[in-house]
Amino acid sequence: MIRIKSPHEIEGIRRAGSVLADTIRETRRRVRPGTTTQELDAFVRFQIEDRGGKPAQLGYSGFPASLCASVNNEVIHGIPGRRVLHEGDIIDLDIVVDLDGYLADASVTVPVGKVSVERERLLRITRECLYLGIQKARSGNRIHDIAGAVHRHARNAGYDAVRQFCGHGVGAEMHEEPQVPNYPGRGPNPRLKAGMVLAIEPMINAGGWEVEILEDGWTVVTRDGSDSAHFEHTVLVGEERGEILTPWDDDGTALP
């Protein structure tokens, strides 16, 4: 069942989103050569708890960290550890905040120092995919309007969207209905209604769309070894446009 959030619930998710946006802004500034993903995870946990929240990923289905840290060809769900970041890497910082029982979910893929032109372009195109998808998050549209906008932009750039994983409803739980794919397949295509809250999250591969899960049971990587980027906002579906509830952009960007 797709939940339409009440004004009270929306305000709770908005507060969680504010904590998450602050956490992402602070954490991305800590990304530099020589830093370990474990250090970033500890920093994320401190930032969330210092703001009165809880890292919702920690312990979720056994996940051992407060941050999903996915590097280069890792798509999502990378487990933080002793891995050292190097100049030219890219890393996805994927975080979920629980504040007083309300959840917000967001991610950003950031460069480590100076990256190649190819990786810089992948980040730019994937971020654009996110905002193009958000533009479709308005009452009367359908889920596949979001998916189509994401997929078209990725394909026009020579990339492809991951199919085995997707966005979702969020707010009362980490994963709610509906699923929000990044390509317009044959799955459910419900109509959007004002009050829905969606985690829109393009996962774009520089190569093919196929992925696989490593032996740790969590880390998803591209099958062909190509780079991947992942950007995500928690978005409130509105009558005229979507409202971003996790405004992590340093420049204050809402919608293009």
Q: Rounded to an integer, what distance in angstroms lies between the CA atom of residue 127 and that of residue 232? A: 8
Task: Flag whether 57 is in a domain.
Answer: yes
Task: Flag whether 106 is in a domain.
Answer: yes
What range defines the domain where residue 40 resides?
7-244
Q: What share of the chain is helix, strand, coil (3-state, %, to 5)?
A: 30, 25, 45
Residue 16 has a pLDDT of 98
Band (252; pLDDT cuts 50, 70, 90): very low
Q: Rounded to an integer, what distance in angstroms lies between the CA atom of residue 248 and that of residue 37? A: 20
Q: What is the mean pLDDT of the chain?
A: 96
How, if at all, do strands 197-200 and 203-205 pair?
unpaired
Helix (H), strand (E) at residue 123: helix 117-135
- 184 near 155, Cβ under 8 Å? no
Task: Flag whether 84 is in a domain.
Answer: yes
Which amino acid, one-letter code, is at 203?
A: M
On the CB side of 146, how many CA atoms lie within 13 Å of its CA? 34
Residue 125 has a pLDDT of 97
What is the average per-residue pLDDT within 84-93?
A: 98
Q: Rounded to an integer, what distance in angstroms lies between the CA atom of residue 119 and that of residue 116? A: 5
CATH code of 192's domain = 3.90.230.10
Q: ∠ CA 124-128-134 to the nearest 5 degrees?
A: 150
What is the average per-residue pLDDT within 209-214?
A: 98
Strands (E), the chain: 54-55, 68-71, 74-76, 90-99, 102-111, 160-161, 167-169, 176-180, 197-200, 203-205, 211-213, 220-222, 228-230, 233-236, 243-244
For a pLDDT cut of 70, what percent of the chain falls above it? 97
The verdict on pTM exceeding 0.75 is yes
Band (255; pLDDT cuts 50, 70, 90): very low
Q: Which residue has the tokens 């520089």?
A: 206
CB atoms < 10 A from the CB of 232, how many? Answer: 25
Q: Rounded to an integer, what distance in angstroms lies between the CA atom of residue 97 and that of residue 57? A: 8
How many domains in the chain?
Answer: 1
Task: Flag whether 194 is in a domain.
Answer: yes
Assess whether pLDDT exceeds 90 at residue 30. yes
Which amino acid, one-letter code, is at 188?
A: P
Task: Flag whether 256 is in a domain.
Answer: no
Assess whether pLDDT exceeds 60 at residue 200. yes
Q: ∠ CA 249-252-256 to the nearest 5 degrees?
A: 90
- The string of pLDDT tens digits covering residues 131-188 is 999 999 999 999 999 999 999 999 999 999 999 999 999 999 999 999 999 999 888 9
For a pLDDT cut of 90, what percent of the chain falls above it? 95
8: Cβ–Cβ under 8 A, 6 or more apart, which residues? Answer: none
Assess whether pLDDT exceeds 80 at residue 14. yes
Band (256; pLDDT cuts 50, 70, 90): very low
Task: Flag whether 2 is in a domain.
Answer: no
Residue 253 has a pLDDT of 47
Band (250; pLDDT cuts 50, 70, 90): low
CB atoms < 10 A from the CB of 114, how many? Answer: 10
